[in-house]
Structure 1
Amino acid sequence: MRGLGHVGQIGWEIEECEGSDLYDGVYPPKGTAYAASWPGVDVIGDQRVMIDAPSQLPEHLVAASAGRRLVLHAMHSVVDWLAFAVWEDGGLVRSLSLSPDSGIIENIGEPLPFELPYWAGDRPADIVPWPGEEEEPYALPFHPLDLGEDALRALCGFIQEGRPEPDDVGAETIELYGFHVWDPQGPDSAEQEAELRRVVAAMPSPRVYTLGPDGALVERDSL
């Protein structure tokens, strides 16, 4: 299938590809979107909407939700980043984006009910320090990924990690269609791959650590 745009720009090319499910398809590869539609519910998974400031979601996407609720939810476990937002009939009700490195990137609107225990200090982050390192306070009053799972359950009805509850949707049973999406005016895949190789080649050699006799991390080359 080829045709008009997606979550990006009108005129982008679309080609159908292998699909996924709601559990595995929440973080598609770059250039791929997973989507499905049922009466009253549309689902789209695409890295292009994983933006630091959810309130800056392109206007045409917000406009497409007129008369309905629009939810954006994004997490990245490597940097403990969470972002979510809710629009009602095109109007932004709540937006939150935060990570321990960047702090609170965006905080618009009143916290939603599932957030309240976190802001009240009832769900502090439980962080285990590296061996040999002193435990330091976590940079945020709670762990963003813990809040992210509760946000996912409250707003979308399923979770990615943690103990499922009886009312949770079985995300692995929800099939999504797959689409390759690209800008015909942008660099082709070969150019992107070549650029990636250039970046990797310019990186310094990896530093490998092991545990020393006292339990501290020691760079392997220095042993």
Structure 2
Amino acid sequence: MIETTAGSNLWDGLYPPDGQTYAAGRPAVELVCDRRVMVDLPSQLPDELVAAGAGRRTVPHALHSVVDWLAFAVWEDGRLVRSLSLSRDTGIVENTGEPLPFERPYWAGERPAATVSWPGEDEEPYALPFHPLDLGEDALRALCGFIVEGRPRPGDVDADTVALHGYRVRDTNAPDPVAREAALSAVVDAMRTRRRFC
């Protein structure tokens, strides 16, 4: 079931709430923002999404700053040419195809990740040779023409000005989202018992 909801813009709509989709169509590009396509292995993008990109380029791109995770892929006319997924905790999950030009400085060691240190502890090297979120921003710029963090460059699309239509997409066989939210709230409320630590 699909119902129309309030829209957003590309800046605010990149990470929509659960069950929410934002989309826009332009003459040269179609955008879809939906967390359901944020997959650990971009090479395993569902077949129907790959098929929808027949005759053109399809680029799934996902970042998650809490776990320093990046995943992106490039499909050309239904053929996978590049897929990369990596995070601080899991390392390289997928690395298929040749690195794209914007990636090369990272793999060559020219953009190392900063070391991490906490007061009273020794410095620890970062788990990867570069920071996934830094590469993710460069991937977003190179593949999609905009960024969400960092300093914009001339020619970058201003994501705040790109309007997106909103849709609530629900599987009719799935539990009702309102009932699911109520059940989750009840569990959270039950966990809020007062505790006293001495």
**TM-score for both structures, normalised by structure 2:** 0.93
Contact 2:2–2:169 (8 Å) recurs in 1: yes
Unaligned runs of at least 5 residues, structure 1: 1-12, 206-220
In 2, Cα distance between the equivalents of 1:184 and 1:119? 45
Match of residue 65 from structure 1: 53
Gap change, CA 1:57 and 1:199, over 3 Å in 2 = farther
**SS across alignment from 2:155:** coil
Which residue of the other structure, out of 94, 99, 102, is the alignment partner of 1:114? Answer: 102
Question: Percent of aligned pairs with the same residue?
Answer: 67
Report the residue type matching 1:15 in the other structure: E
RMSD of equivalent CA atoms: 2.0
Contact 2:86–2:93 (8 Å) recurs in 1: yes
**SS across alignment from 1:113:** coil
Unaligned runs of at least 5 residues, structure 2: none
In 2, Cα distance between the equivalents of 1:147 and 1:202? 41
In 2, Cα distance between the equivalents of 1:34 and 1:201? 31
In 2, Cα distance between the equivalents of 1:192 and 1:129? 41
Match of residue 159 from structure 1: 147
Matched, 1:50 2:75: no
Which residue of the other structure, out of 124, 129, 137, is the alignment partner of 1:149? Answer: 137
Residue by residue over 1:92-134, the C-alpha shift from the partner in whole angstroms, topping out at 9 and shown as x without a partner, is 0000000010111111000000000000001011244222222
Higher RCO (C-alpha under 8 Å, 6+ residues apart)? 2
Gap change, CA 1:222 and 1:195, over 3 Å in 2 = closer
Matched, 1:26 2:25: no
Which residue of the other structure, out of 68, 88, 91, is the alignment partner of 1:103? Answer: 91
Greater C-alpha Rg:
1
In 1, Cα distance between the equivalents of 2:29 and 2:118? 43
Matched, 1:92 2:75: no
Contact 2:91–2:127 (8 Å) recurs in 1: yes
In 1, Cα distance between the equivalents of 2:69 and 2:46? 21
Match of residue 137 from structure 1: 125
In 2, Cα distance between the equivalents of 1:150 and 1:133? 32
Residue by residue over 1:18-55, the C-alpha shift from the partner in whole angstroms, topping out at 9 and shown as x without a partner, is 10111111111111000000112100000000010001
**SS across alignment from 1:87:** strand
Contact 2:115–2:124 (8 Å) recurs in 1: no
Contact 2:116–2:124 (8 Å) recurs in 1: no
Q: How many residues align?
A: 196
In 2, Cα distance between the equivalents of 1:86 and 1:34? 21
Moved over 6 A (4+): 202-205
Contact 2:16–2:34 (8 Å) recurs in 1: yes
